[in-house]
Amino acid sequence: MNYWLFKSEPSVWSWDMQVEKGDTGEEWDGVRNYQARNFMRDMKIGDLGFFYHSQSEKAVVGIVEVIAEAHPDSTTDDDRWECVDIKAVEPLKSPVTLDDCKADERLSDMVLVKNSRLSVQPVTAEEWKIVRALGGLS
């Protein structure tokens, strides 16, 4: 079991839109970055991830689950790009902001803090527990 973080601009694809898709889930398409794609290739069904809103909100808002492993991105003919499908699992009781992560020294190595531009990131088991707790989930 591995943990991840999916970043999205809420004006393009928000947590609410993801929740509306229910158990059907949705392709995490549009990724055009090799590092991010490689992480998606490593994902397995059942892996969990944080759903992060970039731009104005800058906060982890929910938890998602990988429901399909990497497959060609349907939004492009370019076969270099692949994506996974994810579904919403549950929202955080309270969003965990980027500032919250920066303020917690246990999270100082989080990719979110160190490399803010990477749109799909790995999260360690330790970071997973800490952020979940900060978000009000046991």
Q: Which listed range, 62-70, 86-94, 114-122, 128-136, lies at the site for DNA (CB under 7 A)?
A: 114-122
Q: Closest distance between DNA and the C-beta of residue 32, in Å?
A: 7
Q: Tokens for 38, please give them.
A: 């490689």
**Binding to DNA in span 60-99, by CB under 7 A:** 98-99
**Is 11 an interacting residue with respect to DNA (CB under 7 A)?**
no
Q: Which listed range, 17-25, 33-41, 60-68, 125-133, lies at the site for DNA (CB under 7 A)?
A: 33-41
DSSP per-residue codes, 4-38: EEEEE-TTTS-HHHHHHTGGG-EE------HHHHH
Containing 53, the helix (H) or strand (E) segment is strand 48-53
Q: Tokens for 67, please give them.
A: 């429901």
Please identify which residue in 4, 51, 92, 119 interacts with DNA, judged by CB under 7 A: 119
Nearer to DNA, 45 or 109 (CB): 109
CA 37 to chain centre: 13
Q: Closest distance between DNA and the C-beta of residue 102, in Å?
A: 7
What number of chain residues touch DNA (CB under 7 A)? 16
Q: Closest distance between DNA and the C-beta of residue 113, in Å?
A: 9
Query: Buried b vs exposed e over 25-58: b needs ≥16 C-beta within 10 Å?
Result: bbbbbebeeeebbebbeebeeebbbbbbbbeebb
